[in-house]
């Protein structure tokens, strides 16, 4: 199967799908900056009216789109140079969005290396939610009840994910003093929060300022979580002792979201999750063309290729989390790649 991936990668290179698309990211970043300027203008013009909450929601959406580009920069999709991509990603994530770039890189790199693998992928480690039955079965008391119904709570709790991302970023930098550039990043994050909060509370009345922050953070968290959740939740879990070749490991644990260009705009290219995992440095505009090559390759190689629409994907996420949660009460087997032993 390693030779199979090598052949696929050769087809992708021949088609020129790994080439940089600076024009696309230049236009995208310019559009995002214009959007940010438009929101700032709207906030000034609307004054002390509750229409400011529309601006708050728009800011939550825009910051999520900025985070998508930061994610792409972290994968070397934007520019040719690795350090240049890191600088772009650092500015977008740390300065604009308020998320630690170093924390994200560490976590996300480990995820890409072993998606959905027990003991390796940090995205399936137990936290508020349990993603595997062993973790769900270990819950007790109130958390056991919550876990049995966790699918129902998943999307409502994403409204708090924006706050969670900010808190985890600061906590990571504060506790991991050996992180390269830790002091600078922590200082910049702190200044970002101080300046943003000072601006909101200086310009808006107290109650309206709190409402503005609440809406912005809720929209940001929900949008981020709803975009990343369909990628792997509900796909097979790889046991600790199972080793897979690169193609199988990335394709079998990932899910695409259909919808074409509108899904790409909405999800920042995350809708092509399979192609992104196979070719993580591939720029967003090339993913659709890569999908055609990958689908055909997987058909010939008899590798399952998962793709569904966004609504169905969200339904799978909710259903899977509820089923896993039943392990707190009953015995339930979540999808395991045991057949690949």
- Write out pLDDT tens, residues 190-206: 999 999 999 999 999 99
Name which residue leads in pLDDT, 325 or 185.
185
Rg (CA), the chain: 21
Query: Tokens 């600061």 — which residue?
Result: 170
Q: Report the pLDDT averaged over residues 163-181.
A: 89
* pLDDT value of residue 328: 63
Task: Answer yes or no: are the C-beta atoms of 223 and 281 closer than 8 Å.
Answer: no
Indicate the pairing of strand 255-257 with strand 306-308. parallel
- Residue 227 predicted with pLDDT over 90: yes
Spell out the residues 6+ positions from residue 25 whose beta carbon is closer than 8 angstroms to its own.
69, 72, 78, 79, 283
Three-state DSSP class for residue 62: helix
How much is the pTM? 0.93
Q: How far apart are CA 205 and CA 207, in angstroms?
A: 6
* pLDDT value of residue 338: 47
**The two structure tokens encoding residue 126:** 């137990």
Task: Answer yes or no: are the C-beta atoms of 113 and 182 closer than 8 Å.
Answer: no
* pLDDT value of residue 141: 85
- Residue 233 predicted with pLDDT over 90: yes
- Residue 312 predicted with pLDDT over 90: yes
Confidence of residue 1 (pLDDT cuts 50, 70, 90): low
Q: Report the pLDDT averaged over residues 284-312.
A: 96
Confidence of residue 333 (pLDDT cuts 50, 70, 90): very low
Q: Report the pLDDT averaged over residues 62-88.
A: 96
- Residue 336 predicted with pLDDT over 70: no
Q: Report the pLDDT averaged over residues 314-319.
A: 96
**In this predicted structure, which of 125-139, 258-272, 287-301 has the lowest mean pLDDT?**
125-139
- Residue 175 predicted with pLDDT over 70: yes
Confidence of residue 331 (pLDDT cuts 50, 70, 90): very low
Query: Tokens 């949660």 — which residue?
Result: 325
Q: Report the pLDDT averaged over residues 79-106.
A: 95
* pLDDT value of residue 180: 83
Q: Report the pLDDT averaged over residues 207-231.
A: 97
* pLDDT value of residue 134: 85
- Residue 341 predicted with pLDDT over 50: no
Spell out the residues 6+ positions from residue 161 whose beta carbon is closer than 8 angstroms to its own.
220, 221, 222, 224, 225
* pLDDT value of residue 325: 87
Q: Report the pLDDT averaged over residues 74-92.
A: 95
Measured in degrees and rounded to the nearest 5, phi and psi for residue 210 equal: -65, -40
Task: Answer yes or no: are the C-beta atoms of 310 and 211 closer than 8 Å.
Answer: no
Mean pLDDT of the chain: 92
* pLDDT value of residue 2: 62
């Amino acid at each position: 199967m390693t030779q199979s991936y090598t052949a696929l990668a050769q087809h992708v290179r021949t088609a020129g799908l790994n080439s940089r698309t600076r024009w696309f990211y230049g236009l995208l970043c310019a559009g995002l900056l214009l959007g940010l300027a438009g929101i700032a203008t709207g906030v000034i013009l609307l004054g002390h009216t509750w229409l400011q909450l529309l601006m708050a929601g728009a800011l939550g959406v825009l910051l999520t789109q900025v985070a998508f580009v930061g994610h792409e920069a972290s994968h070397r999709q934007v520019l040719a140079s690795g350090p240049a991509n890191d600088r772009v990603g650092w500015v977008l994530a740390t300065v604009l969005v308020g998320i630690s770039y170093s924390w994200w890189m560490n976590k996300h790199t480990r995820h890409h290396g072993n998606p959905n693998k027990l003991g390796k992928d940090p995205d399936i480690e137990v936290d508020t939610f349990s993603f595997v039955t062993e973790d769900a079965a270990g819950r007790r008391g109130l958390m056991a009840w919550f876990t049995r119904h966790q699918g129902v709570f998943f999307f409502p709790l994403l409204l708090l994910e924006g706050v969670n991302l900010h808190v985890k970023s600061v906590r990571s930098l504060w506790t991991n003093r050996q992180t390269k550039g830790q002091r600078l990043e922590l200082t910049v994050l702190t200044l970002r929060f101080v300046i943003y909060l000072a601006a909101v509370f200086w310009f808006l009345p107290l109650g309206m300022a709190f409402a503005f922050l609440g809406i912005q953070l809720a929209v940001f968290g929900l949008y981020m979580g709803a975009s990343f959740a369909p990628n792997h939740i509900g796909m097979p879990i790889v046991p600790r002792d199972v080793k897979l070749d690169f193609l199988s490991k990335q394709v079998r644990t990932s899910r695409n979201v259909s919808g074409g260009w509108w899904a790409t705009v909405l999800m920042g290219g995350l809708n092509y999750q399979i192609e992104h995992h196979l070719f993580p440095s591939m720029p967003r505009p090339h993913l659709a063309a890569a999908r055609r090559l990958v689908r055909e390759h997987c058909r010939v190689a008899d590798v399952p290729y998962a793709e569904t629409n966004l609504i169905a994907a969200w339904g799978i996420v909710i259903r899977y989390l509820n089923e896993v949660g039943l392990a707190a009460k009953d015995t339930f087997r979540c999808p395991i790649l045991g057949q690949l032993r």
